[in-house]
């Protein structure tokens, strides 16, 4: 017992701050009175070891096993306040030093007055956001949201409505994020507006995610989704959603069937179109109107069944008005049936002579418009106006055959094939493929109608690169994926 106590004392004596305190310690002795006072010779200060915090040692019999009480860290010996008598001063006066405050500054002087914070103005309110929306400055409005602006429900609605341009899809997503973190996130009207704007921006994936997580839905919610799928040439998804709507107990109305027939035309689902058209009156007692008959003509015509469309017109329960013949004329023109187009135009003029007057009016030659493409990638928008000279890349082994009918210049065949490579949408796609991560979709916004040759080329590109290429021209959205386009080659 005594030997272990002496060993512990010598180990603790390595600390210079407690070396002098070990001149007197109490040791438990079994051969004497309860305590035996024994004097030890002070040990010299070690030179190679750093200063350690002081510990008070007690080896009395009543001490607990954890009787080593660590005191607060002491300042270095060079500090005159901690060692008023020098390094070898009187240890009995050490208890007179002021208590060590680890949070106090080094000089213990009272701190000066804290600098006053810079004045901060109130966050922008709904009025500022509404003013920016009225001016079309959506990006500036989103910047105010990041600065702490708190819009009310009408302002959220106005912010979402201002993002109908596909170029503002990123801003729409940010506005939607702020809306979901607001106390108005259950507002049904604003949620429906988000569905509509996502559909107009061509992002049905975000629209469907929003629709699935809405706390409440009404008839407008279902119709906006079905209409969005038809607008983006994804009629199959729209028809599936229509079946889900009926399963939850929502009864369709006249407008619902009009959107369903548009989805059938987009999906080229002729059989489904006749089924839904006949079920209007048979199952729901809804009499088809003129717009429903025209929708059925489009279901047949967009699928390439123009003869069946003519037969359907001949069986109408009323005399076909001008709108019917105009629809047939446009379908025949899109399918390249010149004879049927001329016949439909004659019938149109016979019903509405004003159409013939409008077609015979002398019009000035159209001004040549410059093709502009906007590529949405990496949160940047690049504009392509004049294409640089590029080398011809052969993709004929993938099934591509240049369609030189879309080159109207009087040049030779080889020059026409080369001119097709200069179309701006192809350059935008080429730049997007080399500047964006693999397997990510590309969004191309074009101010002119896409030509047939570029349409065929982009279908092949989507199959080669394995990516979804979304092109928005002045007519509709084209979702190219796996060598197919959502428009069904009708636009």
pLDDT at residue 488, rounded to an integer: 72
User: Pairing between strand 36-39 and 24-27?
Assistant: antiparallel
Considering the chain, what percentage of its residues have pLDDT values greater than 90?
A: 38
Residue 319 pLDDT > 50, yes or no?
A: yes
pLDDT at residue 108, rounded to an integer: 52
The DSSP line for 45-103 is: PPSSSPP---EE----TT--TT--EE-PPPPPTT-TTT-TT-TT--GGGGGGSPPP-TT
Over range 457-472, report the average pLDDT: 87
Tell me, yes or no, whether 54 lies in a domain. no
By mean pLDDT, which of 23-32, 148-157, 241-250, 353-362 is the weakest? 23-32
Tell me, yes or no, whether 426 lies in a domain. yes
Domain membership of residue 425 as a residue range? 388-485
Count of the separate structural domains present in the chain: 1
Residue 68 pLDDT > 70, yes or no?
A: no
Over range 227-233, report the average pLDDT: 92
Residue 244 pLDDT > 90, yes or no?
A: yes
Compute how many other C-beta atoms are within 10 angstroms of the C-beta atom of residue 210.
Answer: 20
Q: Is 471 helix (H, G, I), strand (E, B) or coil?
A: strand
pLDDT digits (tens, 9 = 90+) for 299-311: 999 888 999 999 9
Q: What is the 3-state secondary structure (H, E, C) of 342-399?
A: HHHHHHHHHHCHHHHHHHHCCCCCCCCCCCCEEEEECCEEEEECCCCCCCCCCCHHHC
Tell me, yes or no, whether 475 lies in a domain. yes
pLDDT at residue 122, rounded to an integer: 67
Tell me which of 347 and 24 has the higher pLDDT. Answer: 347
Tell me which of 24 and 285 has the higher pLDDT. Answer: 285
CA–CA distance, 174 with 47 (Å, rounded to integer): 65
What token pair was written down for 392?
């011809």
Residue corresponding to tokens 């001016």: 135
E strands, 95-170, where?
Answer: none
Residue 27 pLDDT > 70, yes or no?
A: no
pLDDT at residue 349, rounded to an integer: 92
pLDDT digits (tens, 9 = 90+) for 183-208: 999 999 999 999 999 999 989 999 99
Tell me the pLDDT band of 324, cut-offs 50, 70 and 90.
Answer: very high
pLDDT digits (tens, 9 = 90+) for 386-396: 443 333 454 66
Over range 343-347, report the average pLDDT: 93
Residue 459 pLDDT > 70, yes or no?
A: yes
387 to each of 11, 104, 117, 419, 421, how far by Cα in Å? 84, 69, 54, 11, 9
Over range 166-171, report the average pLDDT: 90
Backbone phi, psi, residue 376, to 5°: -100, 105
By mean pLDDT, which of 56-65, 89-98, 286-295, 436-445 is the weakest? 56-65
Tell me which of 43 and 285 has the higher pLDDT. Answer: 285
Tell me, yes or no, whether 457 lies in a domain. yes
Over range 348-370, report the average pLDDT: 64
| β-bridge mates for residue 373, sequence order | 384, 446
Which stretch, 27-31, 232-236, 352-356, has highest mean pLDDT?
232-236
Tell me the pLDDT band of 84, cut-offs 50, 70 and 90.
Answer: very low
Considering the chain, what percentage of its residues have pLDDT values greater than 70?
A: 66
Tell me, yes or no, whether 397 lies in a domain. yes
CA–CA distance, 121 with 141 (Å, rounded to integer): 17
| Cβ within 8 Å of residue 288, ≥6 positions away | 277, 280, 281
- The answer to whether the CB of 197 falls within 8 A of the CB of 161 is yes
Tell me, yes or no, whether 442 lies in a domain. yes
Tell me, yes or no, whether 470 lies in a domain. yes
Tell me which of 381 and 129 has the higher pLDDT. Answer: 129
pLDDT at residue 288, rounded to an integer: 95
Residue 56 pLDDT > 70, yes or no?
A: no
Tell me, yes or no, whether 449 lies in a domain. yes
- What average pLDDT is seen over the chain? 77
Counting Cβ atoms within 10 Å, is residue 50 exposed (0-12), middle (13-18) or buried (19+)?
A: exposed
pLDDT at residue 125, rounded to an integer: 79
Query: How far, rounded to the nearest angstrom, does the alpha carbon of residue 413 sit from its chain's CA centroid?
Result: 45
pLDDT at residue 415, rounded to an integer: 84
pLDDT at residue 438, rounded to an integer: 82
Backbone phi, psi, residue 64, to 5°: -80, 160
pLDDT digits (tens, 9 = 90+) for 412-454: 888 888 888 888 888 888 888 888 888 888 888 888 888 888 8
CA–CA distance, 143 with 145 (Å, rounded to integer): 5
Tell me the pLDDT band of 218, cut-offs 50, 70 and 90.
Answer: very high
pTM across the whole model: 0.60
CA–CA distance, 252 with 245 (Å, rounded to integer): 8
- The answer to whether the CB of 478 falls within 8 A of the CB of 455 is yes
């Amino acid at each position: 017992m005594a030997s272990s106590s002496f060993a512990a004392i010598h180990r603790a004596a390595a600390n210079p701050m407690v070396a002098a305190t070990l001149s007197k310690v109490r040791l438990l002795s079994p051969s004497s009175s309860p305590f035996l006072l024994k004097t030890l010779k002070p040990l010299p200060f070690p030179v190679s070891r750093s200063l350690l915090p002081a510990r008070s040692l007690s080896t009395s019999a009543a001490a607990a096993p954890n009787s080593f009480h660590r005191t607060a860290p002491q300042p270095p010996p060079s500090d005159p306040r901690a060692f008023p008598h020098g390094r070898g001063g009187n240890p009995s006066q050490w208890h007179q030093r002021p208590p060590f405050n680890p949070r106090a500054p080094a000089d213990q002087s009272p701190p000066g007055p804290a600098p006053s914070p810079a004045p901060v103005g109130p966050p922008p309110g709904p009025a500022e956001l509404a003013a920016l929306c009225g001016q079309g400055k959506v990006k500036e409005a989103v910047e105010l949201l990041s600065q702490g602006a708190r819009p009310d429900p009408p302002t959220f609605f106005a912010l979402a409505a201002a993002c109908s341009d596909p170029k503002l899809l990123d801003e729409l997503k940010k506005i939607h994020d702020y809306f979901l973190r607001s106390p108005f996130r259950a507002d049904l009207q604003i949620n429906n507006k988000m569905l509509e704007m996502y559909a107009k921006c061509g992002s049905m994936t975000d629209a469907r995610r929003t629709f699935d997580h809405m706390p409440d839905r009404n008839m407008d919610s279902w119709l906006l989704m079905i209409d969005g799928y038809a607008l983006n040439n994804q009629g199959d998804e729209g028809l599936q959603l229509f079946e889900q709507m009926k399963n939850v107990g929502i009864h369709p109305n006249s407008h619902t069937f009009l959107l369903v027939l548009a989805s059938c035309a987009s999906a080229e689902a002729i059989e489904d179109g006749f089924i839904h058209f006949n079920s209007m009156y048979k199952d729901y007692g809804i009499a088809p109107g003129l717009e429903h008959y025209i929708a059925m003509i489009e279901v047949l015509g967009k699928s390439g069944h123009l003869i069946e469309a003519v037969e359907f017109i001949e069986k109408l329960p009323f005399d076909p008005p001008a709108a019917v013949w105009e629809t047939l004329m446009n379908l025949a023109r899109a399918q390249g049936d010149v004879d049927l187009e001329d016949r439909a135009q004659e019938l149109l003029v016979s019903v509405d002579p004003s159409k013939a007057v409008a077609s015979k009016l002398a019009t000035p030659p159209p001004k040549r418009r410059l093709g502009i493409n906007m590529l949405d990638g990496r949160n940047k928008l690049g504009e392509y106006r004049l294409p640089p000279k590029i080398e011809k890349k052969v993709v004929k082994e993938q099934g591509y055959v240049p369609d030189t009918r879309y080159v109207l210049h009087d040049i030779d065949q080889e020059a026409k094939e080369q001119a097709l490579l200069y179309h701006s949408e192809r350059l935008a796609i080429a730049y997007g493929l080399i500047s964006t991560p693999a397997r990510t979709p590309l969004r191309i916004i074009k101010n002119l109608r896409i030509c047939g040759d570029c349409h065929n080329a982009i279908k092949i590109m989507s199959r080669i690169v394995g990516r979804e290429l979304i092109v928005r021209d002045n007519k509709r959205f084209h979702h190219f994926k796996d060598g197919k386009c959502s428009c069904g080659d009708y636009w």
